[in-house]
Structure 1
Amino acid sequence: MTTTDKHTAMITGLRELATFLEANPELPIPYEVSALCFPARSTDAEMTAEVDRIATLLGAEVDAEDASYGHYRTGINFGPVRYGALAVLAHRRARYDAETSYIGCVEPDSAHAA
C-alpha cells in the first residue's frame, strides 16, 4: 500500500467511524480518539528530527514533560480527538527490553499466594 493509499484509507476510516457513531447514538462515545504516528526506528537523532518535522507541520511544540520517560512527543487536539507523533528513544526501548526479558521464564510460587 502506498503512502497515498494509506492516507486515503485513514481519512475514509475516520469518516466511516463518525458516520457510524452518528447513526448509532445508543453506543457509548469513547473518552478520546488518538491518531498516533511513530517514526521509523532509527537513531534517536533521526527519530526526533522526524517528530520535530511533524511538530512544525502541525504548528505544535514538542512535549518536554515526556522526555524523562524516554518519549519524544508532539501533537494537536481537535476536541477529544488527538493527532500526534511519538518517538520512543533508545534508552527507553532498552529498558523495556530488559524489563520484559524474563516474561514467561519465572512462575510465582502459588503456595505463597495471598
Structure 2
Amino acid sequence: MTNDDHRNALIAGLRALADFLDANPAVPVPRSVNVLHFPHRATDADMCAEVDHIADLLGAPVNQEFGHYGASVRFGPVEYKAVAILAARRAQYEADRSYEGCIQPDPVPDQNAAQAA
C-alpha cells in the first residue's frame, strides 16, 4: 500500500466511523480520541526534525517531556499528535521491562468472596 493509499484509507475510515456513530446514537463513544503519528525509528535528531516539520504544518508548538518530543493540534475532543520517543526514554523503558516477571504483587482479595461474607 502506498502512502497515498494509506492516507486515503485512514481518512475514509475516520469518516465512516463518524457516520456510523452519528447513525447509531446508542453506541457509546470515548471521551476523547488520539491519532498518533510516530516517526520511523532513526536518530533523535532525525526524528525531532520530522516532528519539527509536522509542527510547522500544524502551526503548533513543539514540546518535550518525559523523553517524548512532540507537537499536537486538537479538534475538540480529537487530538492529532506527532511524537518521537527519544533514545534515552526507550533505553529507560527497556531497562524497566528487564525486571518484568521478577516482582510479584501481593494477592488481590477476591471481591466476590468479600461480598458473600
Structure 2 residue 36 is the aligned partner of structure 1 residue 36: yes
Q: Tell me, what secondary structure is at the counterpart of 1:76? A: strand
Question: C-alpha separation between the residues in 1 aligned to 2:60 and 2:79?
Answer: 12
**Which residue is equivalent to 2:100?**
103
Structure (1 or 2) with the larger CA radius of gyration: 2
**Which residue is equivalent to 1:16?**
16
Task: Spell out the pairing of 1:1-114 with structure 2 (5 A cutoff).
Answer: 1-64=1-64, 66=65, 69-104=66-101, 106=102, 108=104, 113=107
- Amino acid paired to 1:97: E
Deviation at 1:103, TM superposition (A): 1.7
Q: Quick one: percent identity of the two aligned structures?
A: 53
How has the CA–CA distance of structure 1 residues 71 and 107 changed in structure 2, closer, same or farther, with 3 Å as cutoff? Answer: closer
Q: Tell me, what secondary structure is at the counterpart of 1:60? A: coil
Q: Tell me, what secondary structure is at the counterpart of 1:108? A: coil
Structure 1 outlier segments of 4+, above 3 Å: 107-110
- Which ranges of structure 1 fall in alignment gaps of 5 or more residues? none
Question: C-alpha separation between the residues in 2 aligned to 1:11 and 1:109?
Answer: 43
- Which ranges of structure 2 fall in alignment gaps of 5 or more residues? 109-117
Number of residue pairs matched by the alignment: 108
| Cα root mean square deviation, aligned | 1.7
Give the alignment's TM-score, normalised by structure 1.
0.88
Q: Tell me, what secondary structure is at the counterpart of 1:75? A: strand
